[in-house]
Amino acid sequence: MSKMHSVAVIGLGSMGMGVATSCIRAGFDVYGIDLSDAARQALAAAGAKGTSHQCTDFAAQLDAVIVLVVNAKQVNAVLFESGLAASLKAGTPVMVCATISADDAKAIAAGLAQYDLCMLDAPLSGGAAKAASGELTVMASGEPRVFDQLEPVLNAVAAKVYNVGPEIGKGSTVKIIHQLLAGVHIAVGAEAMAMAARADIPLDLMYDVVTNAAGNSWMFENRMKHVVEGDYTPTSMVDIFVKDLGLVADSAKAMHFPLPLASTALNMFTEASNAGFGQEDDSAVIKIFSGIELPKKER
């Protein structure tokens, strides 16, 4: 196993910040890359070795790169358009954690291979809290040697690492199928809470019943709490699920496979985005239901 000392985390959002601080706790020299001044300052205060808005600034000393941006377009921008791939030492493993299509994952891996760089197709799940505690779930595919290289990093950031095999794109496919469930659970949770509101059932009571009964899900428990509190400050936005359920739909279309529930959930998130809630927490999908009174955030 190669020695792993310095790691760059590109994208210091709610997940990326947690991954970066987990790597700091594990004793790595961590370099944080983000366009946000506030994010860079927060990571510097947490003990980062260096921060920058330029992807190439620390390329020469890196043993691994973790990419935690939103979509394939951003992955391509930070790896290739920035010049980072061309600046890294040959053989440096690049862990791509964005939720992207299998085809995009394969294309990115092929692009990295031109610079003699190897990729782990490694989407994450667990949200900001699990990212911060280093207890994420990673569903990854790639060559065994890349798993070996990145083992210290995976140990630092994850409670569970699933090896989906050597084929790039398989990790992304597992994540996409997971997002089908996540998106449908939020949408159906919103539908249930909207019906409760219509029936004049107090939403805090409805929430308490469901979270202590068989209809609960992790997403219901996590997201419908935001509805009860009337707080739609985003940890994950409506527009993220427009993207992710769009990937679900595209993947199913390529397989000629019907997805009746995921299709409906995608329409609900799209409607919420079009209504102006795209940048709010994904639980704001409940706002598409008319004729109901929702809790307001206490000032």
User: Residues with catalytic annotation?
Assistant: 175
- In 134-262, DSSP assigns E strands to 136-140, 158-163
Q: Which helix (H) or strand (E) holds 94?
A: strand 93-96
Report the interhelical angle of 14-25 vs 144-157 (nearest 10°): 90
- CB of 99 within 8 A of CB of 41? no
Residues 6+ apart with CB under 8 A from 70: 11, 13, 98, 240, 243
- CB of 31 within 8 A of CB of 51? yes
Report the interhelical angle of 102-113 vs 170-198 (nearest 10°): 140
Report the interhelical angle of 170-198 vs 260-272 (nearest 10°): 70
- CB of 168 within 8 A of CB of 142? yes
Report in angstroms the alpha-carbon separations of 201 from 25, 56, 204: 45, 55, 9
114: which DSSP letter? Answer: T
